[in-house]
Amino acid sequence: MNTTRFRTTEDTVTPATSTEGTDAPGAADAPGAAEAPCAAEAADDAAAAAEGTSTVSHAPRRTHHDAPDTAADFAELVKLPEGCPERQRLQDCVVTAWLPMAHRLARKFRNRGESLEDLEQVAALALVKSVERYDPARGNAFETFAIPTIYGELKRHFRDNMWEIHVPRRVQDLRNRVRASMRELELTCSGRSPTVAELAAHSGLTEEDILTGMEALQCFNSLSLDAPVSSEAGGAGDGSGDGAICLMDTLSSDETGYDHVVDREAVRSCLCRLPEREQRLLYLRFFRELTQSQIARRLGVSQMHVSRLLAAACRRVREEIEEERDEQQAPTHSPRAAA
């Protein structure tokens, strides 16, 4: 028989390590992102967790209104063997009893680019793991064990699934610390953005780490190439009118034609100084794209002779270009003034 009972006190049990909102990516990236809990609430959570884990203090633990009394159920679960239908049924009852708490923790991460239904599902799966792994013989309350597990799964969900560009975990942590420092300093900077040096002094990070974290601020969401950036008709650039320009339209591609123009101008003067026969050979080979055999038949010579003439002409042009380049790069010395 299920003996689940609910406690009615109102304080929240949260472990000291679960400072919600500082590790979950994307908190400031979606409109209306929820803020982190206030310092008073965090301190109260830490105190509650300390009381729940202490083996010395006998003061009554402060619990939340959605924390049921399932101590008898967990004691019964320990006695039941693995695979027993009664054990599975009792586990399901315990999970159902604690599900409101899991949903409450999931709601703290809402409005951050992920649907509440998905967050509640992640929290529920973490709750199932907590029920299966909890050992009442350790002397700790179940919520003291379950809450860090649920928070950890929610934050891991953001790290692994919400970043559109893969970012190492260390960089994600830097991003969160930089973002928190920016929020705190903006309150004292008279409307201006804090400098990198100010952020480094405030957070205790190096300026290089600050720059790395600031770059990661742009990696949570990516911009579609079809996103409108402006309108040719002078609109607001929202893509609603005709003539909207997308981001793809503003991206340039490598234009190889400019390189060909530079190369052609570089050899023009050298080609003009070649004998007429060699000029004709180069013209037929590289402009008309004839093979050496076709050139040989047209000129009435052997293919081997055409090959030697082409090699000599190309070598001569190359040497002249290198000489001109060396002359241009050579340092110029002004004549020494007469003493």
- Give a yes or no: residue 100 inside a domain: yes
Could you tell me if residue 241 is inside a domain?
no
Statement to judge: residues 92 and 109 lie in one domain: yes
- Say if residue 181 is in the same domain as residue 321: no
Residue 245 included in any domain = no
Average pLDDT in the 301-330 region? Answer: 86
CATH code for position 191: 1.10.10.10
pTM, entire model:
0.41
- How many domains does one find in the chain? 3
Q: Which has more pLDDT, 64 or 39?
A: 64
First to last CA, the chain: 115
By the 10 Å C-beta count (0-12 exposed, 13-18 middle, 19+ buried), 313 is classed as buried
Distances (CA, A) of 189 to 29, 38, 185, 196, 215: 22, 21, 6, 13, 21
150 and 15 together in one domain? yes
C-alpha separations of 246 from 223, 249, 300 in Å: 11, 5, 58
Average pLDDT over residues 246-273: 76
102: domain CATH number is: 1.20.120
pLDDT of res. 100 = 93
Report which DSSP code applies to 284: I
Between 11 and 303, the more confident residue is 303
Q: Do 47 and 155 have their domain in common? A: yes
Both 16 and 158 in one domain: the answer is yes
- The mean predicted confidence, pLDDT, of the chain is 74
> Does residue 185 or residue 337 have the better pLDDT?
185
Please check whether residue 94 is in contact with residue 4, taking contact to mean a CB–CB distance below 8 angstroms: yes
- The span from the CA of 295 to the CA of 8, in Å, is 100
Residue 144 to residues 18, 42, 135, Cα–Cα distance (Å): 11, 15, 12
Residue 207 has a pLDDT of 92
Residue 102, CA atoms < 13 Å, CB-side half-sphere? 29
42-91 per-position pLDDT tens digit:
344 444 444 444 443 444 444 566 778 888 888 888 888 888 889 899 99
* Domain co-membership, 14 together with 150: yes
The predicted-structure confidence for 161-188, as pLDDT tens digits, reads as follows 766 666 777 887 888 899 889 888 888 8
Whether residue 18 is found in the same domain as residue 153: yes
Q: What angle do CA 121, 126, 130 make, to 5 degrees?
A: 145
Domain's final residue, options 162, 192, 212: 162
Query: Which residue has better confidence, 113 or 94?
Result: 94
The pLDDT tens digits of the residues spanning 115-169 come to: 889 999 999 999 999 999 998 888 888 989 999 999 999 988 877 776 666 677 7
Does 95 lie in the same domain as 185? Answer: no
Q: Is residue 131 part of a domain?
A: yes
Q: In whole angstroms, give the CA distance from residue 296 to residue 304.
A: 9
- Helix H or strand E encompassing 118: helix 116-133
Same domain, 185 and 136: no
- The answer on 214 and 103 residing in a single domain is no
Neighbouring-strand partners of residue 231: 244
Residue 291 has a pLDDT of 92
Is 143 a member of any domain? yes
> Are 208 and 97 in a shared domain?
no
Q: Which residues fall within 8 angstroms of residue 303, CB to CB, at 6 or more apart?
A: 292, 293, 296
Residues 104 and 183 in one domain: no
Residue listed under structure tokens 């409450």: 104
Asked whether residue 337 carries a pLDDT value surpassing 70, the answer given is no
Give a yes or no: residue 88 inside a domain: yes
Whether 251 is in a domain gets the answer no
Tell me the average pLDDT across 252-269.
Answer: 75
Q: Which of 162, 179, 196 is the last residue of a domain?
A: 162
Domain end among 120, 145, 162: 162
Q: What is the pLDDT at residue 158? A: 79
The range of the structural domain enclosing residue 282 comes to 257-326
Q: Which two tokens stand for residue 138?
A: 């350790």
